Amino acid sequence: MTSKNWLPVSSLLLLAVVLPSCGGGTSTPTPTPLPPTSSSFALTTVVTGLSNPVGMERPPSDDRFFVVEQRGTIRILQNGTLQSGNFLDIQSLTNFDGQEQGLLGLAFHPNYATNRKFYVNYTLDQGNRETVIAEYQTMASDPNTADPNSERVLLVVNQPFPNHKGGQLVFGPDGFLYIGLGDGGSGGDPLGNGQNLNSFLGKMLRIGVDPPFTGGLQYSIPADNPFAAGGGLAEIYAYGLRNPWRFSFEPVTNRLFVADVGQDSWEEVDILQKGGNFGWNVMEGKHCFNPSTGCDMSNKVLPITEYPHTDGIAVIGGHVYKGSAIASLANKYIFADLTGKIWSLTEAPANTWTRGDILSTGRTLTSFGEDAAGELYLVDYNGNILKLVTQ
């Protein structure tokens, strides 16, 4: 990737062949992906042959994984086998550019088993550049095929630049759909979207997808959203994010862990709070960004961890490990970097987090998956699905 114009250092580009520079116009050192190291952990290959995969999701009470391919397709992985054909193909809609645009997110309705509804996040060029949040349904006659004509558009967000789209969709334990959107791109958030409560960009949104809908919208506004009564857009749940790339809820505690990709210097992991301001673009991680010194840190929620660009270039959010196969990782938050490094966060004592090394893989990691038993999988942008195991 080039370092010109709107492609800043740690913007999540997802372009494997040019990863040595994730953009940016500074002299920040870019780490070189390392070869696999000796470890008590390893990655085993589950399947190969995918095209630019950026996510994998599993419907409630279902043993199938649905793999998001950035070009605009979704594939089904079942019992370790990649099924032939596409579950969904919307390549005619998406403006996949080999970088940060295309099909970016997928979430299944909590009642998917009965209503067959699922939701996607994709970008397109339709006069203006846009992010689209849309609902589709699976064919009643074929559980492995979506109905391409069933699209119901919930939300369209204009995008000023081609990068920083966020992209993930997750249904929370409250039944609402959480939508992570980046700041709209360029470098340094030149439009100030992160702190602008009248912009969807640089935010975590929360909406209801089931009727009755609010006013003339195609969704409902949760009554307890922080700005439902005014002061900001009613859909906003939290703000001050730069490019939230993969987030997940921890079971039982319902804490929402978000990996927010940084600018030139710092990557961060946050636990989101309703109505919280997570700092961007006043702050990058725990540090002043605009201005570079003496910024207003008041009423900003600091990350639970951060790391410099000597350690990685773009943080990849994961899950709190709830499996049983790797006892040493129990209740630790497992996350990664685009360069292939995998880490854990241990909470001890409460609200104090310590980062530990798990594995340096040399892979181009873009996302995590989790099976019904709580075991973790990783998505390699070069077309592979991998499973984290002990050796």
Tens-digit pLDDT profile for residues 201-217: 999 999 999 999 999 99
- Give the C-alpha separation, 102 to 226, whole Å: 30
Query: Per CATH, which fold does 16-390 belong to?
Result: Neuraminidase (2.120.10)
Positions of the chain with pLDDT lower than 70, given as ranges? 1-38
**Side chain identity at 81, as an amino acid letter?**
T
pLDDT at 38: 52
Q: What is the largest CA-CA distance in the chain?
A: 61
pTM equals 0.92
Q: DSSP per residue over 55-118, as a string?
A: EEE--TT--EEEEEETTTEEEEEETTEEPSS-SEE-TTT----SSS-SEEEEEE-TTHHHH-EE
**CA nearest neighbour of 110 among 205, 175, 170, 206:** 175
Q: Contact 246/368 with Cβ under 8 angstroms?
A: yes
Q: CB neighbours of 319 closer than 8 A, spacing ≥ 6?
A: 248, 250, 257, 333, 334, 368, 370, 376
Residue 9: both structure tokens together:
């250092």
Number of Cβ atoms within 10 Å of the Cβ of 158: 13
pLDDT 10s digits, 343-352 = 999 999 999 9
- Give the C-alpha separation, 255 to 297, whole Å: 23
Q: DSSP per residue over 166-178, as a string?
A: ---EEE-TTSPEE
Q: Is 281 helix (H, G, I), strand (E, B) or coil?
A: coil
pLDDT at 31: 53
**Share of the chain residues as helix, strand and coil, in percent rounded to the nearest 5:** 5, 40, 55
